[in-house]
Structure 1
Amino acid sequence: MPETLLPEFGPWVICAVTVFFGTLVQRLSGAGYGMFAAPVMALVAPEWVPGTVLLVGFVIGSGAMLNTRGSVQWKDLPPGFAGRILGAGIAAYIATAVVGTDALAIIVGFIVLFAVVLTLLGLSFPITTGSLFVAGAVGGIMGTLTGIGAPPMAILYSKVETRRSAATQNAFYGFGTLVAIIALSIAGVLTLAQVAFAATLAPLVPIALWVSKPLAVRFERGAIRPWALGLATCSALALLWRSF
């Protein structure tokens, strides 16, 4: 557990900027905050991961979903939610062994790279009850351990109209982070310091969501995502370099 509730000012500023831009990416594309924020926070404030990433992620996912709730495909949510609960339970058990150790940084780095590769492959699968459950479960494991749970669901929605895709993914992300927070709390690895740090970063979320509104039309075709993927990759490689 961190000796203080908050990181020093420099790391805090870096994390704040990361949250702001991660929120923009998440709101505009339905995915990206975790891939961007998790490796950066693991680099500059490792003792506050993954709890802070998830707590802020819940605020982002919920806020983004509320902004676009009219476009959510509600019928898709139950099987994805069920899978997410299963995945979070499995990950919480793993988390008791790796949170607070150097292994977590390595896991974060490799999951970010894995998520980037999945995104770049452009895979496509039909959206069915089974595929939603599997994507939810895999995302639940990834997301609970690192805060990066969006890519499996993003693959399913890669061919869906952009607004519906982003809105539904944000609904999955908001629910998934809530389940992950509960699972980590039950496992005893969510700390007061992580909650306090998240509380100082959360006010940036509504500001970023407000800024994103005029950008939504311009970037709804996903033009912002390559930049986010590039930054996420660089952060993950730097994290792995330091860890090894």
Structure 2
Amino acid sequence: MWGVVFVAGAVVLVGALVQGAVGYGMNLVAAPLLALLDPALVPVPLLLVASGHAVLAMAREPADTDWRGVGWAMLGRLPGTALGVLAVATLPQRPFTALVGAAVLICVVLSVTAWRPRPVPGALIVAGVASGTLGTAASIGGPPIALLYQHDTGPRIRGTMAAVFAGGSLLSIGGLALGGQIGPRHLLLAAALLPFLVLGFLLSGPVRRVLDGRIRYAVLTVASASAVTLLVRSAVS
């Protein structure tokens, strides 16, 4: 068991470093690998440690958070979470995952060429719906919102994404707790992974300063990797 925890911790460390530097990406790195190591590691333990990461990120760059944008995104995330649950229950997983991956990749290509997305209220509500749906159904909910903020500064992207993730995680944890799906083992696994999360977050400090001059490229790279991961997952699952 401790060998699995150590390997899982290394995965969480890398995910925490990526998310701490770019603003999102932990689930892209951690969710598929943790599920292979031990299905009990997802979603509850990962969700719990990801909540801790969001709190740390908010505390590190509190002045740069776009709280108005967070409110609009969370307004969309509520129905989006319900749509994600419905998608899991009713839609074939492989075609849905492929469709999501293709949609994210198309958005990346458009934003590189002609589309200049901005975090205005209507776009944030739509992105919140997409984020809630994708995060619930495919464990990758960051790209829709991150793409809207790609032209902002690194601190603004990280602070805003952290606040959205904190709110979304609280909703998810509350729902899982009410459903009786959080048990002592989940709490123990999350506690064992927490030191790795903190270490990865601390290591992201110097990395984020390097990336801040090219944060848009980092955002687009992580979004592209998310899309490719979903396409590969749909092809091999």
TM-score range relative to shorter protein: 0.7 to 0.9
1:207 maps to 2:199? yes
Q: C-alpha separation between the residues in 2 aligned to 1:56 and 1:118? A: 31
Q: Does 1:83 align with 2:76?
A: yes
Partner of 2:105: 117
Distance in 2 (CA, whole Å) between partners of 1:216 and 1:202 is 21
Alignment check: 8 A CA contact 1:25 1:225 kept: no
**What number of residue pairs does the alignment pair up?**
230
Query: What TM-score do the two structures reach when normalised by structure 1?
Result: 0.77
In 2: Cα distance, 1:159 partner to 1:229 partner: 14
Q: What is the correspondence of 1:77-226 to structure 2 with a 5 Å cutoff?
A: 77-92=70-85, 97=89, 110=98, 113=101, 117=105, 120-121=108-109, 123=111, 124-220=116-212, 221-222=214-215
- 1:145-182: per-residue Cα shift (whole Å, max 9, x none)? 44321111011111222221222112112211221222
Q: Which moved more, 1:32-41 or 1:117-126?
A: 117-126
Q: Which has the higher helix share?
A: 2
The whole-number CA distance in structure 2 between the counterparts of 1:19 and 1:119 is 27
Aligned to 1:66: 59
Structure 1 match to 2:14: 21
The CA deviation at 1:239 is: 5.4
Post-superposition Cα deviations, 1:168-210, rounded to whole Å, max 9, x if no partner, equal: 1121122112212223333444444333322211222222222
Q: Which moved more, 1:188-197 or 1:124-133?
A: 188-197
CA shift at 1:232, angstroms?
6.0
Unpaired runs of 5+ residues, structure 1, are: 1-7
Kept in 1, the 8 Å contact 2:105–2:223? The answer is no
- Shift in Å, 1:117: 2.4
The amino acid of 1:89's aligned partner reads A
8 Å CA contact 2:97–2:138 kept in 1: the answer is no
On the 8 A contact 1:42/1:239 being kept in 2, the answer is no
What is the CA–CA distance in structure 1 between the aligned matches of 2:199 and 2:15, rounded to whole Å? 12
Residues 125 and 241 of structure 1: is their aligned pair in 2 closer, same or farther, counting only changes over 3 Å? closer
Residue 217 (structure 1) shift = 1.2
| TM-score calculated relative to the size of structure 2 | 0.79
2:130 and 2:169 mapped to 1: Cα distance? Answer: 13
Q: Measure, in 1, the Cα distance between the counterparts of 2:180 and 2:109.
A: 36
Contact 1:92 1:184 in 2 (8 A): no
Distance 2:48 2:37 in 1: 17
User: Deviation per CA, 1:32-65, whole angstroms, max 9, x where unpaired?
Assistant: 1111111111222224322222212111112112
CA distance in 2, matches of 1:180, 1:226: 26
Structure 2 CA distance for partners of 1:224 and 1:134, relative to 1, 3 Å: closer
CA distance 1:13–1:227, change in 2 (3 Å):
farther
What CA distance in whole angstroms lies between the structure 2 residues aligned with 1:78 and 1:121? Answer: 27
Q: Compare 113-122 and 194-203 and name the one that shifted more.
A: 113-122
CA contact (8 A) 1:143 1:180 kept: no
* RMSD after superposition: 3.2
Gap change, CA 1:229 and 1:76, over 3 Å in 2: closer
Unpaired stretches in structure 2, ≥5 consecutive residues? none
Identity score, percent:
27
Answer with 128-137 or 214-223: which moved more: 214-223
CA contact (8 A) 2:150 2:219 kept: no
AA matched with 1:153: I
